[in-house]
Structure 1
Amino acid sequence: MRLLILGGTEFVGRAVAEEASARGRRVTVFHRGRHAAPPGVAELLGDRTADGGLDALEKAAGDGGWDAVVDTWSGAPSAVRDAAELLAPHVRHHVYVSSRSVYADPVPAGLDENGPVVDASPDDESGADYARAKRGGELAALAAFGDRALLVRAGLILGPHENIGRLPWWLLRVARGGEVLAPGPRDLPLQYVDARDLAGWTLDAVERGLGGPYNVVSPPGHTTMAELLESCVRVTGSGAELRWTEPETVLAAGALPWTDLPIWIPPGEAHDALHQGDVSQAVAAGLRCRPVAETVADTWAWLRGLGGEPPRRPDRPRLGLAPEKEAEILRSADR
């Protein structure tokens, strides 16, 4: 298989590139040159948002093309459209890594791929609204490739090379030791996917010629907040003490779910929307998810090997609870 990845140097795109290379596939990554490409892949340089930014891609496509392309773009859908239109005559299969965020609110527990989606356009040039940007990207892929387009609707993605900062923040916080605010309940179920499992399933799906939308995230309850944070304590060896705190106390103190306390969303509609999606179609198509302890351990090993700050996408806010705010909440929980 000849595989083209638009991006391919960070997180999900990198996981796909590394997995494809490990399988002996011929991998080409098209990127802006801001980050080192994985070893052993061919590189094309260009900025898809600039005038003439697809020139290198167009030339390479004319020299033979590829069996499949994987696009992880999360900005303006027009960038997905332009690349897809250019590649359609030269590529057999298109994979767009989308998101379960495309489903229209309210998103009930158990929603499958047939749920209603947000209104969007493949011609949107702003990409400011994440849900509409991802849906617009889907529409762009479908317009150019039809049933040759696979829409990978991921949810929460964790694992090595994460550049959002969710699991890295928890690992680094736990590694500092002491009392750690652990937002409850302990048995709060979590639904996520390791980027490497996402990559493996995606490549399998391409080889099988699958098309259409798939929710690609672990089955609901694959792990819990307790399993996740206790794994962080074990792998860091910090001896940190997890102070489990009721959601009401955390929220009353003004701590924000998802941003101040990454990954965590208290029980309710928002939690059901993110952590209770129907993934039976992807599971039937071969999705297998590794244990959370493995994801946590491998992410910690990667962080320790960096020798500095973990990477962070400039278009995403910095995550995590300030130490003084954490101490304040823990004091209030003692009262």
Structure 2
Amino acid sequence: MRLLVLGGTEFVGRAVVEDALERGWDVTVLHRGTRPAPEGATVLHGDRLAPDGLAALEKGEWDAVVDTWSAAPRVVLEAARLLADRAGHYTYISSCSVYTYPSAAGSDESWPTVDADPGADGTEYAADKRGGELAVEAAFVDRSLFVRAGLILGPYENIGRLPWWLNRIARGGPFPAPGPADLPIQYVDARDLAAWTLDATEAGLSGPFNLVSPPGHATVGELIDACVAATGSGAEPVWLTPEQVAAAEVEPWSQLPVWLPPGELHDSLHGNDVSKAVAAGLRCRPVAETAADTWEWLVSIGGTAPQRPDRPAVGLPAGAEERLLAGRA
């Protein structure tokens, strides 16, 4: 397979490139040159926001394209139009955020999506991702695949969710753990996302697929336990009720990454039906493996994960942990 990856140097894009290279595929990456691409890939440089940002792609043919773009849909539209006659298939890494809120627990790919314009300069994340889907579909029609990812974790994470938990737990001692411990969570390891995406791309699958772990794959408690085991710190979780978290004025998701209390938002983000992707071969590794491998990677780079400039840092602000622990006591 001759694969073109638009991006390919960070998190999901990097996982896709590394997996494709392990398969022996001929991989080309187009990126800005701010970070090194995986060894073995053919490297092209271009800033997709610049007027001539796609100049390096004016020649060449590929069996498939994988695009991870997350901002202005018009950038995806420009790439898809340019490549429509020289690439066999186009996979766009989208998001479950494209669904109108609130989506019901157990909803599948038929749930209504937000309004979006494929030629827009960028508005907000959900509309941008849906606009990217429409942009690809306009140029590639039934040769287009939309990977609607949920929460993504694993090595190379540049959002900071799992790295924050691992680093906090590595410090040891009692730490606040938002409960209930048996609350189910849905996420996908970036490497499992990459493997499924490449299999689906090679098979020529088209249309939308929710891509996240099946319900029941992991719980908050299992994630916390996996982080304790991975770091070997012996840190002790102090379990808190959602009411105790709220009383301490701590925000779910952003200040306590991954976690959402039971309710409408939890159902929307941690209750997606992924039976379509499972039927098409999705396999998710155990949470213990994701935590252990992410910790190994973090240690190898000195403990500080890269941070995407377009995303705010996550984790508890100063004083919040003390409020949480005091509220539990």
**What's 2:119 paired with?**
123
Query: Gaps (5+ residues) in structure 1?
Result: none
**What's 2:70 paired with?**
74
Mapping of 1:39-50 within 5 angstroms?
Answer: 39-50=39-50
Mapping of 1:282-297 within 5 angstroms?
Answer: 282-297=277-292
**What's 1:169 paired with?**
164
**What's 2:36 paired with?**
36
1:322 deviates by 2.3
**What's 1:14 paired with?**
14
Deviation by residue 1:29-69 (Cα, 9 ceiling, x = unmatched): 100001110111000000010111111111xxx2x310000
Q: Which of 181, 205, 210 is matched with 2:205 structurally?
A: 210
**Residue type matched to 2:271 in 1?**
Q
Mapping of 1:98-137 within 5 angstroms?
Answer: 98-125=94-121, 127-137=122-132
**What's 2:219 paired with?**
224
Q: Does 1:148 align with 2:143?
A: yes
Q: Which of 180, 185, 193 is matched with 2:188 structurally?
A: 193
Take 2:317 and 2:13, find their aligned partners in 1: how far apart are those partners?
A: 31
Q: Which of 181, 191, 202 is matched with 2:176 structurally?
A: 181
1:100 deviates by 0.4
Q: Does 1:313 align with 2:304?
A: no
Take 1:175 and 1:322, find their aligned partners in 2: how far apart are those partners?
A: 18
1:249 deviates by 0.6
Q: Does 1:236 align with 2:245?
A: no
1:252 deviates by 1.7
- Structure 1 moving runs of 4+ over 6 Å: none
**What's 1:249 paired with?**
244
Take 2:245 and 2:38, find their aligned partners in 1: how far apart are those partners?
A: 41
Take 1:293 and 1:128, find their aligned partners in 2: how far apart are those partners?
A: 37
Tell me, yes or no, if the aligned pair for 2:167 and 2:303 is still in contact at 8 Å.
no
**Residue type matched to 1:83 in 2?**
A
**Residue type matched to 1:105 in 2?**
Y
Q: Does 1:260 align with 2:260?
A: no
TM-score by length of 2: 0.99
Q: 1:205 is paired with a residue of what secondary structure? A: helix
1:323 deviates by 4.5
Tell me, yes or no, if the aligned pair for 2:186 and 2:269 is still in contact at 8 Å.
yes
**Residue type matched to 2:280 in 1?**
A
* CA RMSD after TM alignment: 0.8
Take 1:325 and 1:29, find their aligned partners in 2: how far apart are those partners?
A: 42
Take 2:156 and 2:74, find their aligned partners in 1: how far apart are those partners?
A: 27
Take 1:128 and 1:328, find their aligned partners in 2: how far apart are those partners?
A: 36
- Give the total of aligned pairs: 329
Deviation by residue 1:213-232 (Cα, 9 ceiling, x = unmatched): 00011101210011001111
Query: Gaps (5+ residues) in structure 2?
Result: none
Tell me, yes or no, if the aligned pair for 2:95 and 2:148 is still in contact at 8 Å.
yes
1:95 deviates by 0.2
**What's 1:57 paired with?**
57
Q: 2:89 is paired with a residue of what secondary structure? A: strand
Q: 1:44 is paired with a residue of what secondary structure? A: strand
1:308 deviates by 4.8
Take 2:197 and 2:185, find their aligned partners in 1: how far apart are those partners?
A: 22
Mean CA deviation greater in 2-11 or 323-332: 323-332
